[in-house]
Amino acid sequence: MTALVLAVALLVLANVLNNRLAPHWYLLTSLGTTALLVALYAWAGAPWALAGFGGHALRGAVWGLVLAAVVALSYLVVALVPATRAALRDRRAAGVSRSEVAYQVLVRIPLGTVVLEEVAFRGVLYGLVFDRYRWLWATVVSAALFGLWHVLPASGLARYNPVAGRVFDRRRGLLIVVSVLVTGLAGVVLCESQRRSGSLLTPIAVHWAVNGLGYLTAYLVAGRGMATAL
């Protein structure tokens, strides 16, 4: 229980640093937090397999690639349909350079966001709770905390996505609630992907596909040669 409390406290600190106090140190904060969480899990002595660090890397990688391909196909369909394309617009990806896109998709998102969140929520937190209370409670706790993790990021979502801005105009509280619920449900899916594949590589691949390919698609939709690029 001590390790679980310390892990949650560490994540609260990292969340505040990344979203409020020191966003420019995002990558270093995330990598440092990831390393501390792994060390904390080792100190707790819980089985590594429960956290997805077992010997099923190949199976996890295969499932991850398959599910990532499904995500990629989904983005392609949404981007090609005019009625749904606007949902992919993100002002953070508009007008940026190709080098910035490469940095976001290949460095900041996978190392700063995906690895930290998967090691934290589908790895350390999931494994610590699983070790004491089995997989159902591990999923509930991990998914609930994953939803709450997105409270601060969700507060600025309306500024970046015009569709969210219109739908939730003057209802930022509702936007935060919806974001927490959606990411909480996503957390359930990611927990199950880890449990069923036996490897953290599966949710890592899916998470990167959702975030990384989402950013790349938003960049293309923003007007950087959408017709020719697709």
DSSP 45-71: T--GGGGTBSS-HHHHHHHHHHHHHHH
User: Domain range for residue 135?
Assistant: 48-229
The confidence score (pLDDT) of residue 95 equals 85
Interatomic CA distance for residues 66 and 60, integer angstroms = 10
The answer to whether residue 3 sits within a structural domain is: no
The answer to whether residue 168 sits within a structural domain is: yes
Taking CA atoms, 211 is separated from 7, 106, 171, 205, in Å, by 24, 11, 25, 10
The answer to whether residue 152 sits within a structural domain is: yes
The confidence score (pLDDT) of residue 222 equals 87
The confidence score (pLDDT) of residue 230 equals 42
The confidence score (pLDDT) of residue 171 equals 78
The answer to whether residue 89 sits within a structural domain is: yes
The answer to whether residue 27 sits within a structural domain is: no
The answer to whether residue 21 sits within a structural domain is: no
SS3 89: coil
What is the number of structural domains in the chain? Answer: 1
The confidence score (pLDDT) of residue 226 equals 46
The answer to whether residue 22 sits within a structural domain is: no
The two tokens of residue 127 are 């494994």
Per-residue pLDDT of the chain (230 residues; tens, 9 = 90+): 899 999 999 999 999 999 999 999 999 999 999 999 999 999 999 999 999 998 899 999 999 999 999 999 999 999 999 989 988 988 888 889 999 999 999 999 999 999 999 999 999 999 999 999 999 999 999 999 999 999 999 887 867 777 776 777 777 788 899 999 999 999 999 999 999 999 999 999 999 999 999 999 999 998 644 443 44
Number of C-alpha atoms within 13 angstroms, CB side, residue 41? Answer: 26
Q: Look up the pTM and report it.
A: 0.93
SS3 132: helix
Question: b/e map of 142-171 (b: 16 or more CB within 10 Å)?
Answer: bbebbbbbbeebbbebbebbeebeeebeee
The confidence score (pLDDT) of residue 172 equals 76
The confidence score (pLDDT) of residue 94 equals 85
Beta-strand runs (E) in the chain: none
The answer to whether residue 30 sits within a structural domain is: no
